[in-house]
Amino acid sequence: MIPPIRAVPYLTVTQMPTKKHEKFIEAVQEAADQPLNQEMLLSLVGYNCRRAYLAIMPLFHERMGELELRTVDFSVLSLLHANPNITQKRLSQAINVSPPNLAILLDRLEARGLLLRQRNPLDKRSQTLVLTPEGARMAVQAEEKVSTLESEATAALSDAERAQLLKLLQKVFQPARG
């Protein structure tokens, strides 16, 4: 059971400190001198993932800002670089972006000359996506920058630890493969 929190009245300038107030001051000073107990938070996968994300993302935004790419832009370029001629539907599912939002994103990348939409020869109702030569160059450049920043951000890990971390995190968000 959690003990109730009691408010401790503060002193006005004209009051003399009481024994109770002096104990309160001592307790506040003692709390200030102790490290925070984060045991509960540090036992949570989500909390640890978020803290790691918050450590990495400023670096990501800084380096991708040089290329005028957002996180989702990078994901699209990287996936299309590795998987040319996939459909918009497959891309939408892979990056978990709704089709209407993906269309807006693709419009922006297409306007920059980074990708082309082509009618799917197997199903005329859908389109496939492919990077332009400029899009492929941008994808390579962005992937190199991200690989470098990830190495810097995870420098405290050995190669084996980094590989294990990736494998374990992927087990959390990828469906089990039988």
19-32 pLDDT, tens digit each: 888 888 888 888 88
pLDDT of residue 5: 64
pLDDT of residue 25: 85
More confident residue, 31 or 164: 164
pLDDT at 96 over 80: yes
Mean pLDDT estimate for the chain = 90
Torsion on CA atoms 80, 153, 169, 43, rounded to nearest 10: -150
Domain with 158 in it: 70-168
pLDDT at 144 over 60: yes
Please indicate, yes or no, whether the overall pTM of this predicted structure exceeds 0.85.
no
CATH code of the domain containing 79: 1.10.10.10
- Determine, yes or no, domain membership for 8: no
Output the CA angle 143-146-148, nearest 5 degrees: 110
- Determine, yes or no, domain membership for 129: yes
Please state the domain count of the chain. 1
